[in-house]
Structure 1
Amino acid sequence: MNYQVLEETLKSSKAYSYTSDEELINHFKDKFTIVPFHHDIMFIFHHEREFQNRNHIISLHQRSSGRVPMHIFHYIVMTYVYSGTFVITVEDETVTLHQGDIIILDKHVPHSVAPTTENDLGVNIILHENYFSHRFINKLPNDQLITQFMIELMNHQHTHNHYLLFYTHQDQLIHNCIQNILCEYFDSQLSSDDIIDNYIMILITHLARIGQYNTNLSVNTFKNKDLLDKIILYIHQHYQEGNLKKMCQHFGYDPSYTSKLIKKFAGKTFKQMVNEERMKKAMILLQNKELPVYEIAQEVGIHNLTSFYKRFHEYSGYTPQEYRNQLS
């Protein structure tokens, strides 16, 4: 499918809903779980089985659609405004997206979408946990705080309440990525799912270097951005040593203060950040099937093989050999 055929498809009946608010609610009642929310109801969208062994779900938020009531996903959701305007309420805050803008919603964030007109068309990209943890996490730039935020989205131990809104209405790279994703989605062929995964990775990597965004994160989260960015870069370059005292001497900060700052603004300890960096590098090295596991452990700074196996399994859910097998 080329772009011309895609545009025709997006103006066809496939892109229109013509549903009322009431019709949508009744449809959702038949399909999804309902839970109470602020003296009202909320729907839980999508289940594991809907991914069908893929890392993503692609869908259109159609034109002329009724209001989508408050709902949550158990997965990260990216919504791109292909045309028109979208008004989304996140908890009790309302944000407006214009053509070309993109919003990333964390797991379990309650949100609703206002009715759409004939001109309003959105693209939803729902990401399975495996998308980040087992395939592409190593390719994100390590020296950006926003990257750490996106990695933290996949943290199983926390319930987040965040979104990131990118003002990208003039960004042609993002628009082309979305077009290519939709071409593969509507005209699925051999390896289309893998191609879509890679376009999504380009999209995320590009967003990670964009500075113009809005968020409902506390301003304090980014107050020490410069120092934390430097710490993240230092860990990326010196993860094999993993020495907090030496890092603090490098920056001229007290170890106790630095530890508290890292924990407060990164949401994890220095040791946890070092371990994550080591595990990400180990995943890359494990792609070389000729390299012995004990050499990989030493290469990432872990000289106790038992400890390496334990840490790798805790981080990835696989033993090193299992991880190699699933790569093939």
Structure 2
Amino acid sequence: MISMESEKMNYQQLSNFLKSRSTFNHASSEDVIKHFQGKYKTVPYKNEQMFVFNNQRPFGHSSHLIQLHKRKMSKIPYHTYHFIVVTYVYEGQITMLIEGKTITLTKGDLIILDKFVPHSVQPTSKNDLGINIILDNKFFEDTVIKTSEDSSLPSFMIELMSHQYKHNHFLLFSTDKLPIVRNSIQNILCEDLDKSTFSNTIIDNYIMIIFMVLIRLKPIETNFINSDPQTQKIISEVNNYVNKYYQEGELNKLCQQINYSPSHISRVIHQNTGKTFKELINIRRMEKAKLLLQDKSLTVHEVAEKVGIYNMTNFYKRFKLFTGKMPKEYRDKLK
């Protein structure tokens, strides 16, 4: 961490840091592979071994990690994350192999890699610098994005924001002509390199600004295929209802709001998520309960009622199935 005695890091200081030797890699490809072999399991993929990164990341009390993809970085072999990764090309270019396809990102390009997307990264030169933003699975737990725009990102955002969807997509955007994205990246770096009070919260908000800007754009490349507009609208409405009314969670009320029959809505939900409406409601309740348990002023009984469950035996059973721990055990682990 860079210490600043009087004020936060500014853009000039950030520029100086990003040109310094600290942004250069010194590990060889052999060193990288040896490091991976000591930490991660491998599976066969496209005639080579792919590293499966585990879900143990030092997020601490934040919901993000900010990392540099350094200058003169050695080749990073095929790997997958358990987390969403956003990569922004700050300078130069970065070439990735995503599911066997070569994709070259240039300055200002930004790619969103959903969980479990196989990808590798080719070596970079001294002129190439990337910023990786790794998002904890809890990042979107309290986020609701409402939009009626005809864009592929809202549907993709629904997947990103929900634990219940299949995750295996990527979207590539060109943002070089959007100062708000680059400024947000710069502000994220300034806060991360020179942390102080509320830095993590400020970074989270800049990340959300970037996502909101991307909603207005069309990706220049993606493997994400939109469903038909009617299905997209239904899924969006379901997502909004689940986030807003999870305490009551009544399918009939949702159907009345959007003028479709319960059987039709149930079929669309299952076809697109593999789950029932009740399961979506339960997932949202348990996600919210995990968040509320961080507030030590609330009893477990109060947490259960706040998520719409009034039978404590039922709440304990659901929470244990969802997290593998009883509420008190889960809360104690947070200490």
After TM superposition, the score normalised by the length of structure 2 is: 0.76
What is residue 151 of structure 2 aligned with on the other side? none
1:299–1:15 Cα change, 3 Å: closer
Residues 156 and 224, structure 2, Cα contact 8 Å, conserved in 1: no
- Output the amino acid matched with 2:137: F
Residues 55 and 83, structure 2, Cα contact 8 Å, conserved in 1: no
State which drifts further: 27-36 or 226-235.
Answer: 27-36
Distance 2:253 2:132 in 1: 45
Q: Which residue of 184, 190, 204 corresponds with 1:183?
A: 190
Counterpart check, 1:150 vs 2:160: yes
1:253–1:75 Cα change, 3 Å: closer
What is residue 139 of structure 1 aligned with on the other side? 142
SS at match of 2:34: helix
Residues 262 and 270, structure 1, Cα contact 8 Å, conserved in 2: yes
* Structure 1 residue 267 displacement after superposition: 4.1
1:293–1:88 Cα change, 3 Å: same
Instruction: Give the structure with the larger helix fraction.
Output: 1
Counterpart check, 1:244 vs 2:251: yes
* Structure 1 residue 179 displacement after superposition: 2.3
Q: Which residue of 269, 278, 283 corresponds with 2:285?
A: 278
Residues 15 and 63, structure 1, Cα contact 8 Å, conserved in 2: yes
Question: Considering only aligned residues, what root-mean-square deviation do their CA atoms show, in Å?
Answer: 3.4
- Output the amino acid matched with 2:311: N
Q: What does 1:187-202 correspond to in 2, within 5 Å?
A: 187=194, 195-196=199-200, 198-202=202-206
SS at match of 2:68: strand
* Structure 1 residue 90 displacement after superposition: 0.7
Q: Which residue of 110, 113, 116 corresponds with 2:118?
A: 110
Q: What does 1:217-256 correspond to in 2, within 5 Å?
A: 217-220=224-227, 224-256=231-263
Give 5+ residue unaligned stretches, structure 1. none
Residues 63 and 121, structure 1, Cα contact 8 Å, conserved in 2: yes
Residues 174 and 203, structure 1, Cα contact 8 Å, conserved in 2: no
1:142–1:183 Cα change, 3 Å: closer
Give 5+ residue unaligned stretches, structure 2. 1-8, 147-153
What is residue 95 of structure 1 aligned with on the other side? 103
* Structure 1 residue 10 displacement after superposition: 1.1
Distance 1:159 1:227 in 2: 18
Percent of paired sites with the same residue: 39
Residues 61 and 124, structure 1, Cα contact 8 Å, conserved in 2: yes
> C-alpha offsets along residues 68-112 of structure 1, whole Å, 9 cap, x if unaligned?
333333443221111223232211233333323322223332212
SS at match of 2:214: coil
* Structure 1 residue 54 displacement after superposition: 6.5
SS at match of 1:95: strand
Distance 1:240 1:57 in 2: 32
Distance 2:229 2:105 in 1: 23
* Structure 1 residue 199 displacement after superposition: 0.5
Residues 239 and 300, structure 1, Cα contact 8 Å, conserved in 2: yes
Distance 2:54 2:245 in 1: 41
Residues 142 and 236, structure 1, Cα contact 8 Å, conserved in 2: no
* Structure 1 residue 269 displacement after superposition: 1.9
SS at match of 2:309: coil
What is residue 28 of structure 1 aligned with on the other side? 32
State which drifts further: 3-12 or 88-97.
Answer: 88-97
* Structure 1 residue 261 displacement after superposition: 0.7
* Structure 1 residue 46 displacement after superposition: 7.1
Q: Which residue of 2, 20, 29 corresponds with 1:12?
A: 20
Residues 160 and 167, structure 2, Cα contact 8 Å, conserved in 1: no
Distance 2:55 2:252 in 1: 45
- Output the amino acid matched with 2:31: H
SS at match of 1:51: coil
Q: What does 1:122-133 correspond to in 2, within 5 Å?
A: 122-127=130-135, 131-133=136-138
SS at match of 1:217: coil
After TM superposition, the score normalised by the length of structure 1 is: 0.78
